[in-house]
Structure 1
Amino acid sequence: MKHVFLLLVLTTLNAASDRVVPREGTEWCNIWMPNANKHGLPRVLLIGDSVTQGYGPDVEKALAGKAYVARLATSRCVGDPVLHAELSAVLGAESFDVIHFNNSLHGIGAVSEKEYAEFLPQMLAHIRQLAPKAKLIWATCTPSHVNGKFEQLAPNNANVTERNRIATELMKKECIPVDDLYALTLPHPEWCSDGLHYKPEGKAAQGAQVAAEVAKLLPKAK
C-alpha cells in the first residue's frame, strides 16, 4: 500500500509539472489528526484554509463523543499539485466517514474563475478516488471584507461569489450537499477580526453550523 500511495503522489505531481503554479509569499499546511489510535467513533475530515482552521476546534468540541474530527488546512489552491499531494498524505493515512471540504479564497488573483471551474472537479475526483466510501459536504467560502471597515465588502468579494456559484453548481450536479457558510457569515460583519478571519463568536457560529451539517451524515458509532 505504501508503494501505491507514493506512486499516486508522484503521478499527481508529475501530471502538472509542465504548468507554472503561482506561489504566495508564504505557503503553509496544518494537519490535525486527534484520536488517531482510537476506533470507536466515526471519523470526520475538515478540508479548507485558515478559516477552517479557525472553526475546526469548535466542530471538534460540538461533535465530542459522536465523531473524531481531523482537519487539513492549507494555503494551496485548486490546480496546485501540492494540494493533491497533501490530500494524498491525509487520506492515505486514515479512512474517513464524512469529509467537509472547501477551497477558494487562496488563489484569487492567481487562478482565474475559468481555471477554478476546471480545477475544482479535479480536486473532487481526487478526494473520491482516495476516499470512495466517505460522504462529502462542500462548504461555500466566507465573504471578503475591507479590513477595518467590515461593513464593506472588498472588491475581490466578487471573485468569492463567482467561485461559490461555480462550486455550488458542480456540487448540485454531483449530488453533494452544500454548507452555506457565506450566507451564515455575510449578515454579521461584527464577527470579523480582519478582512478574512473571525473573532471567537464568528468561529463558534461557523463551527456550530458545520457540526450540525456533518452530524446529519454521521453513521452510527462503530
Structure 2
Amino acid sequence: MKKQLFLIIALCAILVGFDQDNKPKVLIIGDSISLGYTPHVKSALKDKANVFHNKGNAQHTGTGIEKLDEWLGDTQWDVIHFNWGLWDLCYRHPDAKTQGNRDKVNGTVTYTPEQYRDNMEALVVRLKQTGAKLIFATTSYVPEGEVGRFVKSDKIYNKMAVEVMKKHGVTINPLNRISKKVYKKHAAGPGNVHYTKEGYRLLSEPVVKYIEKSLGF
C-alpha cells in the first residue's frame, strides 16, 4: 500500500513538472516599477504561463546592454515584456544626499534622449534575435516634486522609444498613460515615482492583458 501511494505521489509530481515545463515562458525586464507589478502578473497568469523577472533591477539601458545576454540565458522565451527609461532620464550627482544621488539641479542625466534611443535600438535588435514576441511598456509617470527627474521627461523619452518600437514592429503597452491615472490615488508618496501595493496591482492589469494577447489567450 505504501509503495502504491509513493508511486502515485511520484507520478503526480512528474505530471505537475511536465505541465509547468510546457507552459509558455514569459520574461519581464524592467526597473523597480516592474518589480512591483510582476508578483501580480505571476499570480494572474499562474495557470497559463511561467512568468519570470530579470535578476535584480534592470536600471537603465546601459545596464541592459551589459547584462541582457545574462538575463536571457539559454531559455526559449515565448514573450518578453520589457522597459527602460526612468533611470535613463534621471539626473544624479555624487554629492546629492537623496536616495540614488538624485539631483536634477546639479546632476548629470544618465542618458540623453538621443542616447536612450540609440541604446534602445541596440537592445531591440538583440531581443528580436530570441524569436520571442516582444512587448514594450512605455516609461511610467514622472510626478511633480521628483528630485532627480523633470516633469514631462517621460513623454520625451517615450517618444524616442516608440519610434524604435514602430520601426521594428514591437507591440507597445501604453503603461505611461495608465500609470498617470493610477498615480493620482495610489502614489507611494509626494514626488515619488513608486506606487502602493494596490497601485502595482492596477498597473499589472494591462501587463497581463498584453501578455495574454501575445500568447493567444
Normalising by structure 1, we get a TM-score of 0.73
Q: Which SS does the other structure have where 2:80 is aligned?
A: strand
User: Paired residue for 1:184?
Assistant: 178
Q: Which SS does the other structure have where 2:21 is aligned?
A: coil
Aligned-partner residue type, residue 107 of structure 1: D
Deviates more, 1:84-93 or 1:38-47: 84-93
Candidates 132, 152, 155, aligned match of 1:161: 155
Aligned-partner residue type, residue 113 of structure 1: P
The answer as to whether partners of 1:192 and 1:202 remain within 8 angstroms in 2 is yes
1:10-29 matches, cutoff 5 A: none
User: Paired residue for 1:193?
Assistant: 188
CA RMSD of aligned residues (A): 2.3
Structure 1 residues 28-82: Cα deviation after superposition (integer angstroms, max 9, x where no partner): xxxxxxx8x941200001111000000000000111110000011525311x2x4
How far residue 168 of structure 1 moved from its aligned partner, in angstroms, is 1.3
Relative contact order (alpha carbons < 8 A, sep ≥ 6): 1 or 2 greater? 1
User: Paired residue for 1:17?
Assistant: none
Aligned-partner residue type, residue 117 of structure 1: R
d(CA) in 2 for partners of 1:98, 1:185: 22
Amino-acid identity (%): 27
How far residue 208 of structure 1 moved from its aligned partner, in angstroms, is 1.3
Q: Which SS does the other structure have where 1:114 is aligned?
A: helix
Larger radius of gyration: 2
The answer as to whether partners of 2:114 and 2:160 remain within 8 angstroms in 1 is no
How far residue 182 of structure 1 moved from its aligned partner, in angstroms, is 0.8
Candidates 34, 53, 63, aligned match of 2:35: 53
Q: Which SS does the other structure have where 1:96 is aligned?
A: coil
Candidates 87, 104, 115, aligned match of 1:106: 87
1:88-167 matches, cutoff 5 A: 88-108=69-89, 109-129=109-129, 131=130, 133-146=131-144, 156-167=150-161
Aligned-partner residue type, residue 39 of structure 1: D
Structure 1 residues 95-121: Cα deviation after superposition (integer angstroms, max 9, x where no partner): 210000100111222211111121110
1:36-75 matches, cutoff 5 A: 38-72=20-54, 73-75=56-58
1:202-213 matches, cutoff 5 A: 202-213=199-210
Q: Which SS does the other structure have where 1:45 is aligned?
A: strand
d(CA) in 1 for partners of 2:169, 2:179: 24
> How many residues are treated as equivalent by the alignment?
177
Q: Which SS does the other structure have where 1:209 is aligned?
A: helix
Cα distance change, pair 159–147 in 1 and its aligned pair in 2 (3 A): closer
How far residue 155 of structure 1 moved from its aligned partner, in angstroms, is 5.9
1:171 aligns with 2:171: no
How far residue 138 of structure 1 moved from its aligned partner, in angstroms, is 0.5
Aligned-partner residue type, residue 173 of structure 2: D
How far residue 94 of structure 1 moved from its aligned partner, in angstroms, is 1.5
Normalising by structure 2, we get a TM-score of 0.75
Which structure has more strand as a fraction of its residues?
Answer: 1
The answer as to whether partners of 2:136 and 2:165 remain within 8 angstroms in 1 is yes
How far residue 218 of structure 1 moved from its aligned partner, in angstroms, is 1.0
d(CA) in 2 for partners of 1:107, 1:137: 19
